[in-house]
């Protein structure tokens, strides 16, 4: 064992697993890991059940259920006007995670550089490291978590293979504007860098903000790989069905990894989802999604308005960042553990922001911020507000 060297020496258990386990251990209200505490629509559950009863129980095709890929292509065209082929440009995998991972292993060679915009989702860094790539961390703007174009321009080099963006961002809830997408296109016009755009919370945009995808920017389409997840938009994170859209050449390469990694996933889920999305129930569900989550965000923020928490309302997604610097100076990991372990099951589990800042050459960030998941029933949200208002004031 002494000669054996870990490939990921600095990686422990993810903060999401850690905080959900702590919530369970202390009987705390769990608003940490990102999942709803309500079920997917009944019609969808029935259609998945029916798909099983109809015999969709063996391997789905390696690229995914064709009906579902056709729905994705139609949806992409409707949302962005981009035409993509369900045959050669769409692949279904075990959640967006498996495809993000496959894409990074496929595209990044040893010595390539990958740019991430921090704070960012925790999966990117270890995937880049396993591929032998080097990470360049570009901070998002401090005030609104939007793109810092100058900083990105400075980090860009001939070695840059991939830029990973997350529209909208987990944890910050910030999204992109069309001007920012245009700026990115202009910045990259002479570069060979590809873009991996992680869009798992895609349609959930609030206050009438357009639900932009990287595919809305025509010049970026050729160099962009997009990932998305049915887990988020159908309230079914446990089903782990996600998809990837990429130009044919990149799809062919990414499928070489996907076919030996995940290969094929959840046949009855794929079939049931395809049936649901083609139905009027599916249409109604998607049409109502942004409004449904906006109400939840607003309920949470109304409950905290006037308190010692400070925040900028999330523009999209299902997370809200809350700042506690006005009443506590302690480190974000320490406070989240402390608040989770409050006596007699009165605690609340939240996610500290620091795990979203990759260690590599980033400034040592000491956020006094936590992330709360508002994909919860109103009773959970109300209980969450109560507990957030009761955390100890240390100043």
Residue closer to ligand PMP (CB basis): 244 or 300: 244
Residue closer to ligand GLN (CB basis): 34 or 272: 34
Give yes or no for residue 170 binding ligand GLN (CB under 6 A): yes
Give yes or no for residue 168 binding ligand PMP (CB under 6 A): no
Determine the Cα–Cα distance for residues 259 and 262; give it in Å rounded to an integer. 6
Contact of residue 296 among ligand PMP, ligand GLN, none (CB under 5-8 Å per partner type): none
Strand 90-94 versus strand 241-245 pairing type: antiparallel
Determine the Cα–Cα distance for residues 395 and 381; give it in Å rounded to an integer. 26
Other beta carbons within 10 angstroms of residue 124's beta carbon come to 23
Give yes or no for residue 118 binding ligand PMP (CB under 6 A): no
Determine the Cα–Cα distance for residues 332 and 350; give it in Å rounded to an integer. 10
Give yes or no for residue 170 binding ligand PMP (CB under 6 A): yes
Contact yes or no for 133/112 (Cβ under 8 A): yes
Residue closer to ligand GLN (CB basis): 17 or 81: 17
Give yes or no for residue 166 binding ligand PMP (CB under 6 A): yes
Dihedral of the alpha carbons of 342, 348, 353, 355, in degrees to the nearest 10: 80
Residues 6+ apart with CB under 8 A from 123: 97, 100, 101
Contact of residue 282 among ligand GLN, ligand PMP, none (CB under 5-8 Å per partner type): none
Contact of residue 33 among ligand PMP, ligand GLN, none (CB under 5-8 Å per partner type): ligand GLN
Give yes or no for residue 16 binding ligand GLN (CB under 6 A): yes
Which spans in the chain are helix H? 15-26, 42-53, 66-80, 95-107, 124-130, 149-155, 178-187, 230-233, 248-261, 267-277, 280-304, 332-340, 378-390
Residues 6+ apart with CB under 8 A from 282: 43, 44, 276
CA atoms within 13 A on the CB side of 171: 26
Handedness of CA 329, 334, 336, 340 (dihedral sign): negative
Taking the complex as a whole, how short is the minimal distance between the CB of residue 113 and ligand PMP, in angstroms? 21
Contact of residue 96 among ligand GLN, ligand PMP, none (CB under 5-8 Å per partner type): ligand PMP
Compute how many residues bind ligand PMP; rule: CB under 6 A. Answer: 14
Give yes or no for residue 33 binding ligand GLN (CB under 6 A): yes
Determine the Cα–Cα distance for residues 227 and 198; give it in Å rounded to an integer. 5
Give yes or no for residue 14 binding ligand GLN (CB under 6 A): yes
Residue closer to ligand GLN (CB basis): 221 or 365: 365
Give yes or no for residue 37 binding ligand GLN (CB under 6 A): no
Contact of residue 272 among ligand GLN, ligand PMP, none (CB under 5-8 Å per partner type): none
C-alpha distances out from residue 222 to 75, 125, 196, Å: 19, 24, 12
Determine the Cα–Cα distance for residues 120 and 142; give it in Å rounded to an integer. 13
Contact yes or no for 79/247 (Cβ under 8 A): no
Contact yes or no for 219/189 (Cβ under 8 A): yes
The CB-nearest residue to ligand PMP is 95
Compute how many residues bind ligand GLN; rule: CB under 6 A. Answer: 6
Q: Of 113, 125, 198, 271, which lies in the binding site for ligand PMP, with binding defined by CB under 6 A?
A: 198
Q: Of 26, 71, 121, 269, which lies in the binding site for ligand PMP, with binding defined by CB under 6 A?
A: 121
Phi-psi region of 394 (alpha: psi -120 to 50; beta: other; left: phi over 0): alpha
Stretch of residues binding ligand PMP (CB under 6 A), selected from 62-70, 207-215, 234-242, 387-395:
234-242
Give yes or no for residue 266 binding ligand PMP (CB under 6 A): no
Residues 6+ apart with CB under 8 A from 203: 211, 233, 286, 289, 290
Taking the complex as a whole, how short is the minimal distance between the CB of residue 369 and ligand PMP, in angstroms? 17
Contact of residue 14 among ligand GLN, ligand PMP, none (CB under 5-8 Å per partner type): ligand GLN
Q: Of 60, 68, 96, 245, which lies in the binding site for ligand PMP, with binding defined by CB under 6 A?
A: 96
Residues in touch with ligand GLN (CB under 6 A): 14, 16-17, 33-34, 170
Interface residues with ligand PMP (CB under 6 A) are 34, 95-97, 121, 166, 170, 198, 200, 229, 231, 237, 240, 242
């Amino acid at each position: 064992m002494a000669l054996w060297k870990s490939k990921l020496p600095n990686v422990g258990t993810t903060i999401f697993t850690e905080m959900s386990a702590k919530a369970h251990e202390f009987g705390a209200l769990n608003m940490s890991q990102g999942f709803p505490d309500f079920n997917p629509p009944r019609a969808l559950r029935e259609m998945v059940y029916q798909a099983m009863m109809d015999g969709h129980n063996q391997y789905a095709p390696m690229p995914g259920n064709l009906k579902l890929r056709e729905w994705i292509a139609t949806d992409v065209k409707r949302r962005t006007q981009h035409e993509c082929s369900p045959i050669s440009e769409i692949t279904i995998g075990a959640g967006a995670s498996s495809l993000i991972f496959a894409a990074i292993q496929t595209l990044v060679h040893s010595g390539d550089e990958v740019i991430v915009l921090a704070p960012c989702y925790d999966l990117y860094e270890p995937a880049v490291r396993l591929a032998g790539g080097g990470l360049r961390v570009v901070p998002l703007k401090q005030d609104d978590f939007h793109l810092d174009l100058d900083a990105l321009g400075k980090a860009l080099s001939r070695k840059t293979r991939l830029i990973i963006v997350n529209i909208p961002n987990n944890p910050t809830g910030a999204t992109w504007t069309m001007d920012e997408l245009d700026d990115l296109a202009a910045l990259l016009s002479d570069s060979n860098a590809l873009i991996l755009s992680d869009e798992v919370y895609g349609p959930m945009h609030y206050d009438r903000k357009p639900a932009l995808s990287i595919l809305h920017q025509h010049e970026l389409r050729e160099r962009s790989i997009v990932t998305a997840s049915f887990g988020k938009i159908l309230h079914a994170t446990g089903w782990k069905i996600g998809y990837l859209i990429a130009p044919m050449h990149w799809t062919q390469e990414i499928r070489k990894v996907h076919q030996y990694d995940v290969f094929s996933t959840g046949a009855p889920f794929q079939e049931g989802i395809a049936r649901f999305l083609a139905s009027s129930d599916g249409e109604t569900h998607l049409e109502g999604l942004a409004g449904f989550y906006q109400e939840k965000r607003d309920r949470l923020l109304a409950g905290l308005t006037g308190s010692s928490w400070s925040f900028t309302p999330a523009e999209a997604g299902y997370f809200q960042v809350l700042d506690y610097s006005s009443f506590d100076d302690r480190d974000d990991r320490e406070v989240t553990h402390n608040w989770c372990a409050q006596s007699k099951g009165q605690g609340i589990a939240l996610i500290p922001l620091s795990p979203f800042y990759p260690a590599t050459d980033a400034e040592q960030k000491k956020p006094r911020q936590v992330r709360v998941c508002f994909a919860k029933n109103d009773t959970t949200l109300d209980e969450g507000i109560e507990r957030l208002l009761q955390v100890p004031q240390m100043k």
